[in-house]
Structure 1
Amino acid sequence: MWLKIIIVVLFLAILASLSSALVFLLKDMGSQSRRTLYALGIRITLAALLMLSIFYGIYTGQLGSQAPWDRGPATNSAPDTTEPDAVNQEYK
């Protein structure tokens, strides 16, 4: 649960950094200010952290698909009685 919250917070921080970079770009047009560059650098760092947290979640199994078609073929819990057991036939 905490990982999903971290991912959402990182995504919102990326959006905030991107919007602040746009504001700095429009305000500092023609000047030598590097605020836009710093804001975009922060966005890249946040995006890398977001990707790392997603990869960590998938690796640990905290994130993953719960869709029924991703589970694989369904198996019956009852044993198959149409064919004789190979172990029993070996001793007969």
Structure 2
Amino acid sequence: MLKVVIVLLLIAVVISLFTGLVFLIRDGGRTNRVVNSLAVRVGLSLTLLVLILVALWHGDLSMNPTPYH
């Protein structure tokens, strides 16, 4: 379940990135929609980072060990 949430947040970040690009092309930077899209993307990225760090701290996620141990 946790991995599904992480993938969904990553997809939301990519969607926000492309909507910001569309707003930049369409508006030419005259409106605040690009800035709002950036704020959403930063918020989603911070949420994703905190979720991953908390999951690592609780042991729900684990780092892959190197194959040469």
- Interval of TM-score (by shorter of Structure 1 and Structure 2): 0.7 to 0.9
Moved over 4 A (4+): none
Q: One-letter code of the match for 2:2? A: L
Percent identity, please. 32
Aligned length: 69
**Cα offsets for 1:22-55 (capped at 9, x unmatched):** 0100100153x11000001000000000001100
Residue 65 of structure 1: aligned partner: 63
Matches of 2:7 and 2:22 in 1, distance apart?
23
- Structure 1 residue 66 displacement after superposition: 4.8
Residues 44-53 or 60-69, more deviating = 60-69
Residue 6 of structure 2: aligned partner: 7
Q: One-letter code of the match for 1:22? A: L
- TM-score, normalised to structure 2, is 0.88
Unpaired segments ≥5 residues, structure 1: 73-92
Q: Select the structure of larger CA radius of gyration.
A: 1
Give the helix-richer structure, 1 or 2: 2
Q: CA RMSD in A?
A: 1.9
- TM-score, normalised to structure 1, is 0.67
